Chains A and B, each alone.
Chain A
């Protein structure tokens, strides 16, 4: 038995190089059947013995080069866990909330502003609506709105910022002056106008919030990309015949994304609060369940029933924190130069 194991370890270190540190047979078996290992079969060159990437990837797995390994820090895991829970609330409230949507949004039940009890773990708000139930159901609207509007800002900002930085000259001036004009529009007033003219339509609000966020990302992206444009690898990409678009979006963009990732995680909270301030001004739907609305609606009862306003607020804070932690970990993990 012992002999067999020795031979086995010997062979493996021959195959995988000196970085290979053999574990127990059980551990090896476990690693063999991870999705990661099975994915090696699909990697380019797997069918060609000479160019095979599989054993290299196996080595990589061991030497902490994989993305999963790099994300393995406690804070990142915490962030990922928070994001996972909030997102599952947003996607599956029917299953995760023990109270149906009707009871937290439409029906009027007895027992307004009750303190936490066994039936209502976080207490109740106005009309006897359960705070925890509203928290779970409200995640859907808050997360959808903030993520979608940020995606709009991000995509627009990154594209315009990169083009402005790379092209320079009058194109740069044009894009940045338009960005100045857009960012001079007061966002809340524009939202109020949109809602009062076109009605309370989530898509319009989302689009308006997204478009208003573009200049910020464009400026950030431009400053990051200008410093990258001066690097020699951009010139050598030109020498290798890369087109302008390829240089912009395959060479410069990945190298300037780390700044954007940080800004992104901060802005999720801003977007949730944007909808909240709209609700504060009275533009909302009566049957809308949403964290920002809850904070505003229940702040009048802050002394009698603090739980009704505080829990949605904590929800916003924790969501923002979760995205920030995850974004920070992701930024470090995506940088190939960082060591674990």
Chain B
């Protein structure tokens, strides 16, 4: 580790790991989600896409958990599973003490919100902004008076730096960054505890991305929000995250805080993923690890550790092909699912 990196990790105390004594806001216990595949005559179910397999995750109040991994590894499905948008196959999801995997009631819906990837598509083009942001207020808080709703929506708009004249406009009259602000305002409407951010910046320009990230950070400090930040942009997570979970083919392969994952990655996949990150400084540049082969299909995942066909650290005497490695705790914050490591 160079000295520069060391100082970087030192400047993170404001968003350091929250103490584990608190109860998690969201707790995923061994959750699996799969999508059916239909085909053949009469559209029978001929298989299933195992999008998420045996995922265990905790999100603590006030923390930002980054969920990283390449496309199609099941990041978004976890987010949708928490919101009850896709059915859970096995396992349980808890919001504080209540189970939410069989449907969210209105109280929980207020507290668990989501920001979708494409701000353009997630706003109803025929509704005015005041109605769009008023939608959760009306449905979840039972607010019916128009004037009351306008006042509340104006408050929310001001929190995301929009103005009064935007109240009665339609979504197509806004730029991408403004639309994402509107989506964030809608998610904030019911004072949530946790917001699932599904690639909130990937559809935006780089300059707008940083504005949105700063806004999200400000809101987190103001309202003590927890974020589940789903992204494939590692530098974004490095900027806003406090904890990171790395996913590969529906499994979580490594969990840890920022310094664990970014400066001391243990799992071969995390090492490869991080080495693919573009570096600005010459010193930070590492030797790129090029993985062989393609990502296997989640319809028919490989046996044992899903990463074993592409793993560069595997030797023939390791049991990777036969059994899936269990989560091994390396330190208080850092755990990895790999046969290379053993519990101390």
Contact = CB atoms under 8 A, between A and B. Distances in A.
Interface of A: 17, 44-45, 47-48, 50-51, 53, 56-57, 60, 231-233, 235-243, 246, 251, 254-255, 336-337
A336 B109 contact: no
Contacts of B189: 240
Contact of B124 (A44, A243, A255): A255
Interface string B189-225: 1000000000000000000000000000000000000
Given A236-B183, A336-B170, A254 B126 contact: yes
6 contacts: A44-B150, A56-B168, A236-B114, A238-B84, A240-B109, A240-B189
Given A51-B154, A56-B165, A232 B122 contact: yes
B126 A336 contact: yes
Contacts of A47: 147
Contacts of A246: 139
Contact of A239 (B83, B121, B125, B146): B83
Nearest to A230: B121
B123 A233 contact: yes
A50 B85 contact: no
Interface residues of B, number: 38
Contacts of B140: 240-241
Most buried by A among B116, B124, B164: B124
A128 B154 CA distance: 70
A45 B150 contact: yes
Given A239-B85, A241-B106, A337 B150 contact: no
Nearest to B84: A238
| For the complex of A and B, 6 pairs with smallest distance between CB atoms | A241-B139, A240-B136, A44-B146, A232-B121, A336-B170, A241-B140
Given A44-B150, A51-B154, A336-B172, 4 more contacts: A51-B151, A60-B168, A232-B118, A241-B136
Contacts of B83: 238-239
A44 B147 contact: yes
A217 to B, nearest CB: 20
A44 B154 CA distance: 14
A56 B167 CA distance: 10
Interface in B120-143: 121-127, 135-136, 139-140
Contacts of B127: 251
A251 B136 contact: no
A51 B146 CA distance: 11
Most buried by B among A241, A243, A246, A337: A241
Interface of B: 80, 83-85, 106, 109-110, 113-114, 116-118, 121-127, 135-136, 139-140, 146-147, 150-151, 154, 164-165, 167-168, 170, 172, 183, 186-187, 189
A272 B86 CA distance: 48
B154 A237 contact: no
Contacts of B186: 236, 240
B168 A232 contact: no
A226 to B, nearest CB: 15
Contact of A45 (B80, B84, B146, B170): B146
Contact of A237 (B125, B135, B150, B170): B135
B319 to A, nearest CB: 41
Contacts of B183: 236
A231 B127 CA distance: 15
A47 B148 CA distance: 12
Contacts of A255: 124-126
A246 B83 CA distance: 18
A336 B128 CA distance: 10
Contacts of B85: 235, 238-239
Contacts of B110: 241
B124 A233 contact: yes
Contacts of B164: 50-51
Nearest to B104: A241
A159 B176 CA distance: 34
Nearest to B172: A337
Contacts of B154: 50-51
Given A45-B146, A56-B168, A235-B85, A241 B121 contact: no
Given A44-B147, A232-B118, A240-B186, A53 B139 contact: no
A188 to B, nearest CB: 36
A109 to B, nearest CB: 56
A236 B164 CA distance: 23
A221 to B, nearest CB: 16
Given A50-B154, A240-B140, A242-B139, A231 B146 contact: no
Contacts of A17: 165
A336 B150 CA distance: 21
Given A235-B116, A236-B116, A240-B139, A51 B147 contact: yes
B106 A233 contact: no
Given A44-B147, A53-B168, A336 B106 contact: no
